[in-house]
Amino acid sequence: MKSKGFTLIELLVVIAIIGILAAIVLVSLRQAPQKAKDTRVISAVEQTRAIAAMIYTDDSSYSALCSSGSLNTGHSTYGNQLTTIDNDITTNGSSATCYAGDNDYCVEATLASDTSKAFCVDATGFAGQVTAGTCSSTNIACK
């Protein structure tokens, strides 16, 4: 006579497979908040490119983009936009580093997922991940 149902071994195998899948999902979800913060920081840093272009168009110089190593939130025309960008970056656990000269600028912000890395944009058109601290007063570029 054949009985209907599952054996104990079959049930244990199914439970083990479900446990493995749940562990994989939990590991992926744990990194999601940091990746979301990184995305917000990257988006904010990329917005500085448009403002830098407008400042250069107005002044024939990028120097007004930055003030004392940070975004020039006191800029007479673009201060509100730069303040919004700076707030977006700081809200997500980072800070913007900004240096500018007449013909060059660089803006970088560290990433939440790895604080030794930063996202950087500069006057050459570069936009990407670099080692944190690459953009400096002696190296007004991302590379």
Residue 102 located in a structural domain:
yes
Is residue 139 one of the residues assigned to a domain? no
Provide the number of structural domains found in the chain.
1
On whether residue 56 sits in a domain, the answer given is: yes
Ranking 11-20, 25-34, 53-62, 107-116 by mean pLDDT, the lowest is: 25-34
Residue at 79 is within a domain: yes
Mean local confidence (pLDDT), 106-132: 95
pLDDT, position 2: 67
pLDDT for residue 1? 58
Does 58 have pLDDT greater than 70? yes
Determine, yes or no, domain membership for 39.
yes
- Domain containing 32: what range? 8-131
| pLDDT tens-digit readout, 71-94 | 999 999 999 999 999 999 999 888
The amino acid present at 74, given as its one-letter code, is G
Residue 72 is assigned to a structural domain of this protein:
yes
% of residues, the chain, pLDDT over 90: 78
Does residue 112 surpass a pLDDT of 80? yes
Q: Is the pLDDT of residue 68 over 80?
A: yes
**Domain contains 108:** yes
Q: What's the whole-number average pLDDT of the chain?
A: 93
CA dist., res. 1 & res. 4, Å (int): 10
pLDDT at 107 over 80: yes
Show Cβ contacts of residue 21 under 8 Å, excluding neighbours closer than 6 positions: none
pLDDT at 133: 94
51: in domain: yes
- Coil vs helix vs strand at 130: strand
Which of 96, 37, 32, 33 has its CA nearest to residue 69?
A: 96
Question: What phi and psi values does residue 106 have, to the nearest 5 degrees?
Answer: -150, 140
Q: What is the pLDDT of residues 15-44, one digit of tens each?
A: 999 999 999 988 888 888 888 999 999 999
Beta strands in the chain (DSSP E): 66-67, 70-71, 96-100, 105-110, 117-122, 127-131
Strand partners, 12: none
